[in-house]
């Protein structure tokens, strides 16, 4: 059976995250339902494998998934069929046939997350589902000075939420960027890495905001790598600002 790779864009606001769960509306659940309907497989045996989970409220600009389809159809036709049957908060932006050994999770080389943060005094009605928000004094220069400390291979245990089940907490961050967008009262963060632990990106953003606010010193990221203590960084930036931007293979 041919294997297809798809790129998926979704507004996570009304989903209980990516991963399929009984009785909950999830992105994976919606896509599996539609793929199985198109495959006319009443027993819903086709599984749609994503590059990884996203949490409740987290968005994706280009989540990647693969599945095996019983018919050898043109990828673009399959994409249009999926788009026309999926709910309005999910769309498939690209589709291609891939080799049988392509795996959306295990073949992934690196992932990029975007975090969109609003510094406005009050939440904007058109942004509250699409940004994190914290109206406190933030020193951009301090965050800019600190963010480079994230780059490299580190043990991220101080940045992991409890409840994670990874074999190792060693990960490599390839790049970490911060951008000011004063005209929109926003600050954007972007992180690329080999992989991220559960809630890691949101805790990384939380630590930077506390550095910007003066709660932590500018060199505190280095200390957090040394102390290896999950209790040291407990401020997790809201899910609403987080976007899975791309997955590279």
| Distance from C-alpha of 23 to C-alpha of 46, rounded to nearest angstrom | 19
Q: Which is nearer to a second copy, 119 or 200 (CB)?
A: 119
**Distance separating alpha carbons of residues 201 and 115, to the nearest angstrom:** 8
Residues belonging to the chain: 249
Q: Which is nearer to a second copy, 84 or 231 (CB)?
A: 84
In whole angstroms, how close is the CB of 190 to a second copy at the nearest point? 18
d(CA 175, CA 237): 19
The answer to whether residues 9 and 60 touch, using CB atoms and an 8 Å cutoff, is: yes
Binding-site members for substrate are 113
Spot the catalytic one: 11, 55, 68, 155: 55
What is the nearest approach in angstroms of a second copy to the Cβ of residue 19? 18
CB of 77 to a second copy, least distance (A): 13
216-249 as b/e: b if 16+ CB within 10 A: bebebbeebbeeeebebbeebbbbbbbbbbbbee
- Is 155 assigned a catalytic role? no
Q: Please say which residue, 88 or 106, places its beta carbon nearer to a second copy.
A: 88
Contacts to a second copy by CB under 8 A: 9-11, 59, 80, 83-84, 88-91, 121-126, 128, 130
Active site residues: 55
């Amino acid at each position: 059976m041919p294997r297809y790779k798809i790129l998926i864009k979704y507004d996570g606001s009304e989903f209980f995250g990516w991963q399929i769960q009984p009785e909950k509306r999830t992105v994976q659940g919606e896509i599996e339902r539609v793929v199985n309907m198109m495959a006319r497989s009443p027993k819903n045996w086709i599984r749609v494998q994503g590059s990884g989970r996203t949490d409740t409220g987290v968005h994706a600009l280009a989540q990647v998934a693969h599945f095996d389809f019983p018919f050898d159809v043109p990828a673009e036709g399959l994409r249009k069929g999926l788009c026309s049957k999926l709910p309005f908060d999910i769309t498939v932006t690209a589709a291609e046939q891939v080799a049988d050994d392509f795996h959306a999770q295990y073949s992934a080389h690196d992932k990029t997350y975007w975090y969109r943060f609003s510094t406005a005094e009050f939440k904007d009605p058109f942004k509250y589902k699409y940004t994190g928000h914290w109206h406190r004094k933030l020193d951009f220069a301090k965050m800019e000075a600190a963010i480079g400390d994230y780059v490299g291979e580190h043990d991220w245990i101080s940045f992991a939420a409890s409840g994670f089940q990874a074999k190792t907490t060693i990960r490599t961050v390839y790049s970490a960027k911060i951008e000011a967008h004063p005209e929109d009262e926003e600050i954007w963060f972007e992180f690329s890495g080999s992989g991220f632990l559960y809630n890691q990106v949101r805790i990384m953003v939380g630590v930077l905001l506390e550095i910007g606010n003066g709660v932590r010193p500018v060199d505190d990221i280095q200390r957090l790598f040394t102390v290896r203590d999950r209790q040291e960084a407990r401020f997790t930036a809201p899910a609403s600002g987080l976007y899975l931007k791309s997955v590279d293979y």
